[in-house]
């Protein structure tokens, strides 16, 4: 669930000492607000002074506050650490991690990074954003070619993207590409110019429509080790392969895009028909339990025939299996294959808060609703340890291929 931002609540969450440093750096409130005397979590004095500032001045700082607020969570801190690993080495990195571990909460960690380690900020916010995006498209079978990140290659990629969208869709007149390194992955964030838009805005107390030129996103994540390229683009599907080809040309220096082999990996859902099936996960993963909430069965002999079983598992975790047992009495369920499951995973995110319930929807052959953020990766590890994560078709001896999925 998305967290709600408000300036006053942001002031409540942030320690007075860090707020004082932020505003001092902008030459504000030196004689108006006594941060040392102001009670923690009671920012009324500050908020009153804040409201008296000119709109233009407040708007610029509010945008920064929203970014800091967004990064004030476990996922944001993980992105900060990943970017810190690129900039720091050995003792310096260890000192940074130890300092951050001593801070009491993620609000302080985000603001401290913003104030004292701003060189990490741009990359960390980009990683955090990418971790939150669904609908990634993967291309495999690339060679073990290092990504070119020199200025000429980056500019070439920007020009290819710009030219493509400008000639095919009439947008993309300008484009900039930002490269980042995250562990063993290379990230490329491209921002082509979108169509002009008009937005309804308040400017200096005046209500009006203002034209502006926003950017849209094209994000690449390249793994030299895995020989794969992940692409995130919310637009026409026909642009996917051309965008992959532009990356191959500018960054991998290929003469042409290698053929894309069909992904024949499949989720092995058959074991989930057994009530005795146990999910496997590490004790320190934060996963407390995983429950099967829903099963969809598809006939292997009659196309289009499906049975969906769904039960309330809040009081009885194996309720869906009781329902399956009743169906077994009336139908030859051995003639059906599992083509979709819905799981509920209870995961501890914060030791001081109740576990979070994460819904996982897996559909045959290889579709999964999990993202590639920290929680999603932990749950994917659980699926792999439990023998469910996709395998090549030849590896899955127990696979029952349905007529229709």
pLDDT at 149 over 90: yes
Is residue 66 over pLDDT 60?
yes
**Hey, is 98 helix, strand or coil?**
helix
| Euclidean distance between CA atoms 62 and 312, whole angstroms | 43
Burial of 211 (0-12, 13-18, 19+ CB in 10 A): exposed
Q: How many angstroms separate the CA atoms of 143 and 400, rounded?
A: 33
Which is nearest to 343 in space by CA: 240, 271, 401?
271
pLDDT of residue 225 exceeding 60, the answer is yes
Strand partners, 266: 391
Tell me what pLDDT residue 223 has: 94
Confidence of residue 263 (pLDDT cuts 50, 70, 90): low
Report the distance separating Cα 62 and Cα 84, nearest Å: 25
pLDDT band at 140 (very low <50, low <70, confident <90, very high): confident
**Cβ pair 298, 336 in contact under 8 A:** yes
pLDDT digits (tens, 9 = 90+) for 69-81: 999 999 999 999 9
Q: Look at residues 288, 346, 349 and name the one whose alpha carbon lies nearest to residue 73.
A: 349
pLDDT at 116 over 90: yes
When pLDDT is cut at 50, 70 and 90, the band that residue 53 belongs to is very high
* Per-residue model confidence (pLDDT) at position 405: 44
Q: Residue 392 — very low, low, confident or very high, per pLDDT cuts 50/70/90?
A: low
- What per-residue confidence (pLDDT) applies to 9? 96
Residue-wise pLDDT tens digits, 341-359: 999 999 998 888 899 999 9
On the CB side of 126, CA atoms within 13 Å amount to: 24
What does the mean pLDDT of the chain come to? 89
Model confidence at 233, pLDDT cuts 50, 70, 90, reads very high
Q: What confidence tens digit (pLDDT) does each residue in 176-201 have? A: 999 999 999 999 999 999 998 887 87
Q: Report whether pLDDT(138) > 50.
A: yes
Structure tokens belonging to residue 146: 């290092």
**Is the pLDDT at 333 greater than 80, yes or no?**
no
Nearest to 293 by CA among 328, 344, 337: 344
**What residues are paired with 359 via a beta bridge?**
344
Q: 105-119: b or e for each residue (b if 16 or more CB lie within 10 Å)?
A: ebbbbbbbbbeebee
pLDDT the model gives residue 372: 62
């Amino acid at each position: 669930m998305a967290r709600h931002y408000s300036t006053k609540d942001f002031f409540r969450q942030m320690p007075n000492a860090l707020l004082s440093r932020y505003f001092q750096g902008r030459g504000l409130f030196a004689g108006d607000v006594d941060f040392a005397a102001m009670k923690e979590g009671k920012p009324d004095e500050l908020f009153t002074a804040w409201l008296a500032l000119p709109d233009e001045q407040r708007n610029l700082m509010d945008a920064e506050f929203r970014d800091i607020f967004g990064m004030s969570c476990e996922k944001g801190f993980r992105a900060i650490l990943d970017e810190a690993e690129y900039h720091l080495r050995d003792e310096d990195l260890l000192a940074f991690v130890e300092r951050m571990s001593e801070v009491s909460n993620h609000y302080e960690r985000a603001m401290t990074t913003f104030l004292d380690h701003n060189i990490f900020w741009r990359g960390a916010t980009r990683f955090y954003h990418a971790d939150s995006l669904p609908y990634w498209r993967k291309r495999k079978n690339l060679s073990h070619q290092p990504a070119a990140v020199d200025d000429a290659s980056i500019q070439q990629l920007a020009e290819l993207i710009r030219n493509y969208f400008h000639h095919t869709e009439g947008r993309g007149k300008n484009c900039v590409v930002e490269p980042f390194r995250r562990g063993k992955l290379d990230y490329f964030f491209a921002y082509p110019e979108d169509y002009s838009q008009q937005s309804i805005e308040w400017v200096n107390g005046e209500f009006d429509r203002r034209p502006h030129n926003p950017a849209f996103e094209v994000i690449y994540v390249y793994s030299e080790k895995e020989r794969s390229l992940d692409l995130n683009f919310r637009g026409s599907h026909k642009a996917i392969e051309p965008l992959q080809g532009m990356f191959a040309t500018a960054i991998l220096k290929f003469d042409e895009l290698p053929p894309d082999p069909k992904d024949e990996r499949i989720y092995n859902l058959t074991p989930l028909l057994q009530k005795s099936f146990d999910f496997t996960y590490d004790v320190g993963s934060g996963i407390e339990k995983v429950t099967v909430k829903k099963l969809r069965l598809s006939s292997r002999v009659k196309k289009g025939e499906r049975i969906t079983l769904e039960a309330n598992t809040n009081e009885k975790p194996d309720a869906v299996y009781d329902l399956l047992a009743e169906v077994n009495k009336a139908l030859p369920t051995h003639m059906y294959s599992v083509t979709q499951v819905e799981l509920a995973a209870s995961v501890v995110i914060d030791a001081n808060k109740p576990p979070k319930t994460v819904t996982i929807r897996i559909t045959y052959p290889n579709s999964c609703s999990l993202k590639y953020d920290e929680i999603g990766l932990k749950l994917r590890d659980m699926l792999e340890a439990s023998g469910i994560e996709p395998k090549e078709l030849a590896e899955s001896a127990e696979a029952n291929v349905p007529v229709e999925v």
